[in-house]
Structure 1
Amino acid sequence: MLCRVLFGASVLLLIATRSAEAAKDYGAALGKSILFYDAQRSGKLPGNNPIPWRGDSALSDCVPGGWYDAGDHIKFGLPMASSTSLLAWSLNRFKAGYQQAGQLNQMYDMLRWPLKYFLKAWDPSQRVLTAQVGDGELDHAFWGRAEDMSMSRPCKKISTNNKGSDIAGATAAALAAGSVAFKDKGDNQFATRLLQGAESLYLFAKTNRGVFSGSAGYYGSSGDKDEMCEAAVWLYRATGNNDYLNDAKGFAETTTAWALSWDDKRVVCQELLYEETFDSVYKNAVIAFFNGWLPGSPTMIYTPCGLAWRDKWGANRYAGNAAFMALLAAEAGIESYTYRKWAAEQINYLLGDNNHNGGCFSFEIGYGNNYPKQPHHRGASCPNRPSSCTYAQYGLDVPSPQILNGALVGGPDSYDNFKDKRSDYIQSEVALDYNAGFQGALAGLNYLLAIGQMPATNNRCPCNQ
């Protein structure tokens, strides 16, 4: 009996040691991701602005505030709302992860920014939601600082005559999830405002169904059932009203998503509904999703160093989103050890367990010493004032003067090859939705470390530094 006990203790010690060696500084990475969202702020910046090279911008927008979408300066409603919902979910579920990292106050401050924008974008008396600020062609013809923009910034709106229940539903979901977060914080006044906005916007979306058609080649949605389901579940969580839960069940689809993205949130709906109902229909749908992602899937490509590579556009984004969902499913009791281990290995790859540039390369800017130096991002490419910033900066093959801390770049090809070049907007792009699931996964892993549940990992190309 004694030998068996000692052997068991040795195994536990070995597992704990391997976990410690494989674990990254998820807390540091989490704090930097928050800084990326702060760098994307539009409007009049607060006195505690932590990004020294950013200032007030787009003060004359029809709806000031919010986040710029990517390396450009357009404010797109669908990816902004979708990102906000995932970020709020990460706070609601893995709050201890933010606390452990010392980033809880920073997270609340960061999350408040888009939520305030959504409240201003939605006019319940006129039943009008601003869905986009800025024109794609005009914006992309400009390379420079957000603070220096002078082009026209037209607004696109959703109304009873111009349908957009996909964007309206996504925005209602963000407001409702935000309401849950700020009620938990004790900020009942802001939580109530968010809930009132969510309920009125959801009702508007529900009675004015139809996909937004004004994106003009940017962020065109394939449907609205997933957004409507997501909004309904969060409203149920915020209110306890069973009508919302019944709505969510009606909107739910049990087909398997190719990936979690700003457009396709079927697996989000399935996971949320399983957490509320424990119905095996939703559990099986979540399992089916991960059967298409985990090793052994006939449809998933793995790079030589182990990234689950779904697509050349935002490969890191898709892996980060799936890792976040895996950690959420694990918390709900679905294949907990397997999903946690896989999620940790995906995030470890993104933070350095790969062989690019000599190894130990972080795809999150500012994490460690070896990371992308040329993100496809206008503001970061601009030198300090009074120096000018034009398309000349776009073509310079030199590190950006400003460090875009926390931004997760698009990622490598399916052979682990990555081009750290500003003009390569496929691999070096950054965006709101690229970081959302990634940040949620960081919070989840930091939470597991805090409670002593971090699994042992076995990355193919471990960083030994």
Structure 2
Amino acid sequence: MKHKKKQGIALEGTPNFLLHQWLPLLSFFAIISSCQSVHFYGQALSKSLLYFESQRSGHLPHNQRVTWRHHSGLDDGLEQGVDLVGGYYDAGDNVKFGLPMAFTITMLSWGVIEYGKQIKDAGEYTHALEAIKWGTDYFIKAHTHPNVLWAEVGDGDTDHYCWQRPEDMTTSRQAYKVDESSPGSDLAGETSAAMAAASVVFRETNPHYSQLLLHHAQQLFEFGDKYRGKYDESIGVAKGYYTSVSGYMDELLWAALWLYKATSKEQYLEYVLENAYAFGGITWTMEEFSWDVKYVGVQIIASMLLKEERHNIKHKHVLEEYRSKGEHYICACLNKNNVTNVRRTPGGLLYTRQWNNMQYVSNAAFLLTVYSDYLGTTNQMLDCPKGMVGPQEIFSFAKSQIDYILGSNPMAASYLVGYGLNYPKRVHHRGASIESYKKNKGFIGCTQGYDNWYTRHDPNPNVLDGALVGGPDSDDQFRDERWNYMQTEACTYNTAPLVGVFAKLSRLEVDHVSLNTPLIASS
């Protein structure tokens, strides 16, 4: 290799024998610097939970930490004679979409169920429970009758005409529901799953609330199962924004499985087993897990039931079928299948599709982490077509995806807003991109927001801490532009799966520092 003049280091006139001694050391520091291999997972965890406060709709509480936000959507549901104040905006717009909101709460709850101790150790347990409860409180309001669930407030078409802070909204706040004549089994199923998972979370700290959630979860599951249909067939305004491409059968399996975890009632497990084939649970092999496609989540949870002895005789055959399909996904992420694997960018990031790819990455990192823990506690290996894989290797890959998100990537950029120095400054987000309501209480109109704020090249005046943006393209390239919504828009369901993984890594980070042991043991 040819030696070139080094910039920024005074090496001129240095004796050759000393130069040759220093060069390896200098190269080592250069590599460490460029890779940004040291990450602060506890800080990332704290910021990820802050993000959900930025997305709150409704009357904000006295302990609201994101102070650039203010009350909004205080008349939601008024025209329909129902109280729909609260809940979350899904992304950079001001619509409350029920399906992705419910999935967000399911994943937050699952993270707390798996990694609650680590979240407590990091001092973030209260914030995690508050993030979940902000969603479930809204679902209780939205479930006004056993067979009625309010699915959406506002609509994407009118919302996209305006660029306004939530506090200034002038767009339609019409609310839409599913019921017996206009079914929505996918929405009812996901909301049931969210409330069942949350009931597990609150079982010890708030048992009355836990029982209330479970009551709603059971009613919603019965509603979704009895009156079957896709919610976007009943609510046309959802099409093109959150179309349920996978249908509703995965959500019904998903809900039944979470109800089984919450109640231990055999009827729910029997539902998952008896419908395993007809509903696609043991026939579909998938390479993605998302707010729309739940099959892999069902397969992974069903797989882990095998460790419980009571399932080994009666249900083993079907659970093994679920496991086979779930492990196909794990192997696909690890590039260990013979044919169907998840693509990767040159920098090593899992790549599913161009629009908001990071949602698939964060979900994969969570599932890989959970499954690696399961294999580790049961002393098992993963048998992929291309060879056996140990739990530490699975977790190491999950960590590589997290580290990529936090800055270990070709652009040396953090895709978690507010983390590190080089993160997206022009996130596609109405509230963050316009001067805070606390600073400027003057009304900002529909087109005024586009004219005065959307088109600015300046960084957003408010930092959307903890938001995971859509992320880079298939070549690891990223353009930090407000108009580039495919890459710079963040969503609640992007960040939700990260909470549990950040917590686990944060605990390992603390142990690594205090005990001077490797962050991840070699496989």
- 2:119–2:500 contact (8 Å) kept in structure 1: no
Match of 1:312?
354
The secondary structure found in structure 2 opposite 1:426 is helix
1:348: which partner in 2? 403
* 1: CA distance, partners of 2:261 / 2:507: 22
1:188 aligns with 2:228: no
Which residue of structure 2 lines up, in the alignment, with residue 219 of structure 1? 242
Instruction: Tell me the alpha carbon deviations over residues 344-388 of structure 1, each in whole angstroms, 9 at most, x when there is no partner.
Output: 0000000010121xx2x2100011111110000000001131464
Stretches of structure 2 lacking an aligned partner (at least 5 in a row): 1-31, 78-83, 308-318, 376-381, 383-389, 513-517
- What are structure 1's unaligned runs of at least 5 residues? 1-17, 459-465
**Which of 330, 353, 363 does residue 415 from structure 2 map onto?**
363
For the 8 Å contact 2:51–2:466, the answer to whether it is kept is: yes
Residue equivalent to 2:157: 137
Match of 1:455 in 2: 520
What's the offset of the Cα at 1:267? 0.8
Higher mean Cα deviation, 382-391 or 412-421?
382-391
Matches within 5 A, 1:313-328: 313-328=355-370
Measured at CA, do residues 251 and 84 of structure 1 come closer, stay the same or move farther in structure 2, by a change above 3 Å? Answer: farther
Contact 2:122 2:507 in 1 (8 A): no
d(CA) in 2 for partners of 1:248, 1:336: 27
Tell me the CA shift for residue 151 of structure 1.
2.3
Deviation at 1:456, TM superposition (A): 5.6
- Bigger mean CA offset, 299-308 vs 222-231: 299-308
Write out per-residue CA displacement over residues 68-121 of structure 1, whole angstroms, 9 at most, x where no aligned residue.
011001111111111110110000011122122211111111111000000110
Q: Offset of 1:287 from its aligned partner?
A: 1.4
Q: Is structure 2 residue 90 aligned with structure 1 residue 69?
A: yes
* Matched position secondary structure for 2:500: helix
Mark the structure with the bigger radius of gyration.
Answer: 2
Q: Report the number of matched residues.
A: 434
User: Which whole-Å CA distance do the structure 1 matches of 2:522 and 2:40 have between them?
Assistant: 15
Matched, 1:257 2:280: no
TM-score when scaled to structure 2?
A: 0.80
Counterpart AA for 1:226: D
Separation in 1, partners of 2:121, 2:416? 20
- Relative to 1, partners in 2 of residues 1:231 and 1:308: Cα closer, same or farther, differing over 3 Å? same
Q: 4+ residue stretches of structure 1 with deviation over 6 A?
A: none
Q: How does 1:413-428 map to 2 (within 5 A)?
A: 413-428=473-488
Number of the residue aligned with 1:383 = 435
Please report the TM-score for the alignment, with normalisation by the length of structure 1.
Answer: 0.89
The answer for the alignment partner of 1:30 in structure 2 is 45
Moved more, 167-176 or 380-389: 380-389
1:162 lines up with 2:182 in the alignment: yes
Which residue in the other structure is 2:120 paired with?
99
Match of 1:45?
A: 60
Q: 1:168 to 1:342 in 2, by over 3 A?
A: same
**Bigger CA drift: 233-242 or 405-414?**
233-242
Q: For residue 11 of structure 1, what is the aligned residue in structure 2?
A: none
Matching residue within 142, 160, 172 for 1:121? 142
User: Retained in 2: the 8 A contact 1:226–1:251?
Assistant: no
Asked if structure 1 preserves the Cα contact closer than 8 Å seen for 2:287 and 2:342, the reply is no
Letter in 1 for 2:456: L
CA contact under 8 A between 1:143 and 1:390: conserved in structure 2? yes
- Partner-residue secondary structure (3-state), 1:329: helix
In structure 2, the partner of 1:5 is none
* Residues 416 and 456 (structure 1), Cα distance of their counterparts in 2 relative to 1, 3 Å cut: farther
- Paired amino acid for 1:61: D
Preserved contact between residue 68 and residue 74 of structure 1 (Cα < 8 Å): yes
Give the 5 Å matches for 1:10-29.
22=37, 24-29=39-44
Counterpart CA distance in 2 for 1:448 and 1:290 is 22
- Cross-structure match for 2:303: 274
1:284 aligns with 2:313: no
Q: Quick check: 1:418–1:427 contact (8 Å CA) kept in 2?
A: yes
* CA distance 1:362–1:151, change in 2 (3 Å): same
- Cα separation, 2, equivalents of 1:61 and 1:321: 31
Aligned to 2:459: 399
Q: Which amino acid aligns with 2:62?
A: G
Question: Residue 209 of structure 1 corresponds to which residue in structure 2?
Answer: 228
* Contact 1:145/1:378 (<8 A) preserved: yes
Matched, 1:59 2:119: no
Larger CA deviation: 377-386 vs 175-184? 377-386
Q: CA RMSD in A?
A: 1.9
Say whether the 8 Å CA contact 1:22–1:457 is kept in structure 2. no
Paired AA for residue 72 in structure 2: S
- Identify the range of structure 1 (64-73 vs 252-261) with the bigger mean alpha-carbon deviation: 252-261
* Aligned equivalents of 1:29, 1:74: Cα separation in 2: 27
Residue 426 of structure 2 aligns to a residue whose secondary structure is coil
- Match among 208, 213, 218 for residue 199 of structure 1: 218
